[in-house]
Chain A
Amino acid sequence: MANLVMTEDETMLADAARGFLDKSAPVKAFRDLRDAGKTHDAKMWKEMAEMGWAGVLVPESAGGSDMGHAAAGVLAHEMGKTLVVSPFLSTAVIAATALRNVSDARAEKALAAIATGDVTYALAVDETPKFNPEAASMVATREGNGFRLSGKKTFVVDGALADRLLVLAKTDEGLTLFDIPADRAGINRTAQNMIDARDSARIDFDNVEATGDDVLGQVDSAMSILKPALEAGQAALAAEMAGLSAGAFGMTVAYLKERKQFGTVIGNFQALQHRAAHLWCDIEVTASAILNAGRMLDEDPDNATMAVSLAKARATSTAQLAVQEGVQMHGGIGMTDAYDIGFYMKRARVGAEWLGDYGYHAAQVAKHRGF
């Protein structure tokens, strides 16, 4: 069983990340982006890359910092606290893990480009409103030595602005994962107007050409590459949502200590104290599942599925509780756009769906527990 204490390095990483983000990416920075209609801050991503965040899962041989999944979780957690917008999950976690599981020169080059922050990725898997990668129906038809891709993807997070796409499609004998530039002929991207004001796209593929070189790993066996990538993404997303929960909770408790009604601060009312205390307990329990998932991915990645699903399930339910309680305990002001707590609620709803919702992951846990 993994050791469930933050290491000294992880604590230092969290402190350093917090220091940087409080300066460069407080919630106000997200608000400004949203108000400007932007979903990406290229300058900040470059700074994150310089600190080794973009290369957090890239081997040192390819110029990465190779800190591992638990460390990626630490970074995602800190970003979640202040609703940082960045391609971290799509690029530094999901794409990097996929590429890492392919050992060829092309993948090595792609990893190097991720680590420097020069190339961003998005994962194009979903076709229906619910996450179900195994059921992908988009077709890649063989043509000569290559393929032609036709079909539609939706909820491609970071997909409107990403430089490259990881695309899951059906081939003769199974599913195949393609790594193609997002501006290739026949690709038509439509930015979605998301409730959380982040980048997501619907993408049409109209007879898009893909060569054999564009295949990541082996034809017909996408899952050997995609599964670890998805699990890495789910664990890091869970960590981000745990950070989001902590952020919303921190705002809420601070509000309980300052808002006065009936002649006293509302934090003196037991009804609210107990709601807040319950929420804290829920956040604490989820924190254990998050750390455990990161440790399992680092130490025993072939057997991490249950730990990852446990983390994503718990993170989803905790985040939803945190934002709902947050708005309720803020009262009317929590309903206003001028106040930040609503941002947390909308981000939590998107995070709940991305890479599998509560039901999807609870069922995974149950399956691993034999029912």
Chain B
Amino acid sequence: MQSNQELEGFRIELRDWLEANCPAEMRGGEASEASICWGGKNFEFESDAQRDWMERAASKGYTVPTWPVEYGGAGLTRPQEKIFKEEMNRIGARSPLDSFGIWMLGPALLHFGSHEQKLHYLPPIARGEIRWCQGYSEPGAGSDLASVQTRGEDKGDHWLVNGQKIWTSYADKADWIFALIRTDREAPKHKGISFLLINMEDAGVETRPIKLISGASVFCETFFTDVKVPKDQIVGTENRGWDVAKYLLTHEREMISGGGQGLSGGRALGAVLNESLGEGQEMETTLRADAMRCEVDALAIGLTLERYKDQAEAGTGAGDASAMLKYMGTELNKQRHELLMAAGGSDALEWDGPLGNRPADWLRTKANSIEGGTSEVMLSIVSRRVLGLGA
């Protein structure tokens, strides 16, 4: 435990560093999926400022502030992490780097990976050099995720992987994929899955974007045809990949929930809505009331994310908290985007119109309550595991 004096010292140092290193272009403004810095070999930075910000933050470990220093993080303690968040919010700093490597694979590797795997895979994630995507769902395995059929045949020093994944977000931009592969077809469905790491440049890996209702193609289909995956590219134990998958899912769900702040990096919804209105126009009464309700809920969900982190730190965490956060956060995020559309009126109805790509962001949020486990699956998890209802 650090003293308050030490923490205040950290705050002052951090504040100075942010002041000196976070470019003005990377502060404030409405964050959207399009403005995220994803990193990776194929990533095109929107500006020099975006690249500078990522690189400077990475040099201090601030792209993954809580990861250990040896794996590319800053090794921040929980109280320091809170200060980090407060100081970032204070200047409206955008996240310097976001990726499935940071949100999902990283935590799973930190928990299940060997020391060598951590040293090998984590620092390139922290530096934004390697971008990961997730190979979980299949055409026949959506909400029933453990039914995956993509198979890995044991060939001694490698697995020979064949099959198809779907909804692989940004697979066309990713360098590597972490995937659930059936390595034992005789075992019960949860007991025959392995968690494999596969290089997207390997022979036999093919990916095809799927055009979505938003006009964008963030999701892909990914095909594996006789792909050779070396045996050391497994996380955890053979056929026990479901444990890794479940652990990772809790992080995915927290990520999708956005802690209730899925919109605009902690900015107040009312402020964002006000900006959408025409000159001298007042927010209409029902819109205002709805915005207040959303704001109350967003703040409370944000506090809940923090409370669960505090509990985890204190070792009193609740097991299935992520299902709750995912459900509450995504349902709220959908409502918020409905309000943004309403505030924009007819200006929000054009692709790349006066309000930018607001309709695309709005449509994108509709996947939030489906991906990573639907809202209904989340409610079933809560009712079964927390409330003890049902068989």
Contacts and interface: CB of A to CB of B under 8 A. Distances in A.
A276 interface: yes
Nearest to B305: A288
A365 B303 contact: no
B387 A276 contact: yes
B390 interface: yes
A257 B391 CA distance: 11
Interface stretch (B14-22, B214-222, B293-301): B293-301
A190 interface: no
Q: Provide the main secondary structure of the chain B interface.
A: helix
A191 B250 CA distance: 53
Nearest to B272: A371
A282 B331 CA distance: 12
Interface in B29-45: none
Given A4-B303, A285-B300, A363-B292, A273 B389 contact: yes
A288 B296 CA distance: 12
A365 B295 contact: yes
B147 interface: no
B339 to A, nearest CB: 12
A3 interface: yes
**Most chain B beta carbons < 10 A, residue from A3, A4, A277, A359:** A277
B307 A310 contact: no
A303 to B, nearest CB: 13
A1 B293 contact: no
Contacts of A365: 292, 295-296, 299
A42 interface: no
B386 interface: yes
A267 interface: yes
Interface string B324-354: 1001100000000000000000000000000
A267 B288 CA distance: 38
A253 B390 CA distance: 11
Contacts of B237: none
A286 B378 CA distance: 19
Given A5-B310, A277-B383, A288-B307, A362 B388 contact: no
A274 B384 CA distance: 10
Interface in B350-391: 376, 378-380, 382-384, 386-391
Interface string A1-38: 10111000000000000000000000000000000000
B382 A277 contact: yes
A281 B289 CA distance: 22
Contacts of A268: 389-391
A274 B376 contact: yes
Interface in A322-371: 359, 361-363, 365-366, 369-371
B81 to A, nearest CB: 10
Contact of B268 (A253, A277, A317, A370): A370
Contact of A257 (B300, B382, B389): B389
A284 B82 contact: no
B233 interface: no
A289 interface: yes
Contacts of A284: 304, 321, 324
**Most chain B beta carbons < 10 A, residue from A5, A276, A281, A288:** A281
Given A276-B383, A369-B268, A1 B306 contact: yes
B316 interface: yes
Interface string B280-318: 000100001101110111011101101100110110100
**Most chain A beta carbons < 10 A, residue from B271, B324, B378, B384:** B324
A256 B311 contact: no
Given A5-B314, A310-B299, A362-B293, A285 B328 contact: yes
A98 interface: no
A313 interface: yes
B77 interface: no
B93 to A, nearest CB: 17
A273 B383 contact: yes
Contacts of B270: 366, 369-371
A371 B296 contact: no
Given A268-B391, A276-B387, A370 B382 contact: no
Contacts of A317: 296
A280 B324 contact: yes
25 contacts: A1-B86, A3-B310, A5-B313, A253-B387, A268-B389, A268-B391, A272-B389, A276-B383, A277-B382, A280-B382, A281-B324, A292-B303, A292-B307, A310-B299, A314-B296, A362-B293, A362-B295, A363-B292, A365-B295, A366-B288, A369-B270, A370-B268, A370-B270, A371-B269, A371-B270
Interface of B: 82, 85-86, 268-271, 273-274, 283, 288-289, 291-293, 295-297, 299-301, 303-304, 306-307, 310-311, 313-314, 316, 321, 324, 327-328, 376, 378-380, 382-384, 386-391
For the complex of A and B, the 5 pairs showing the least CB-CB separation, nearest first, are: A371-B270, A4-B307, A273-B383, A369-B268, A277-B382
